Amino acid sequence: MDDQSEYAHLFPIIIEVEQGNSYQWCSCGTSKNQPFCDKDDCGDKSILFVANVTEEVVFCQCKQTKRPPLCDGSHAKLMLEAVNSRKLK
């Protein structure tokens, strides 16, 4: 997927996390370092993820997940809505 696509944010992102490391997931979508928060003042808008093992993790980028920070497939509905809206134009 082209990172410059207007729909890039609708696709989850797979990132290898390292055991014991902490990651701050951006829930508001304004970070320039998606899916992670790049600010120090987001408070509860960023969600801490601590890696229990070194593995690939599927992080949400659409920000609609019910299991933050992990992808739960919510992007599929958003993608369908985007496709349908393009068909109507």
41 domain-assigned: yes
Report the number of distinct structural domains present in the chain.
1
Token digits of residue 88: 């109507």
Backbone φ and ψ for 87, nearest 5 degrees, come out as -70, -30
Task: Give the per-residue pLDDT at 80.
Answer: 84
pLDDT in tens, 29-80: 888 899 999 887 777 789 999 999 999 999 999 999 999 999 999 998 888 8
**What's the chain's length in residues?**
89
Q: Please report whether residue 78 resides in a domain.
A: yes
Domain that holds residue 74: 8-88
Structure confidence at residue 87 (pLDDT): 66
The pTM of the full predicted model, rounded to 2 decimals, is 0.81
Q: Looking at the domain assignment, is residue 21 inside a domain?
A: yes
CB 25 within 8 A of CB 71: no
Q: What is the DSSP string of 47-76?
A: EEEE-SSSEEEEE-SSS--SSTTB--STHH
In a domain, residue 84? The reply is yes
- Distance from C-alpha of 7 to C-alpha of 11, rounded to nearest angstrom: 8
Task: For residue 3, tell me if it sits in a domain.
Answer: no
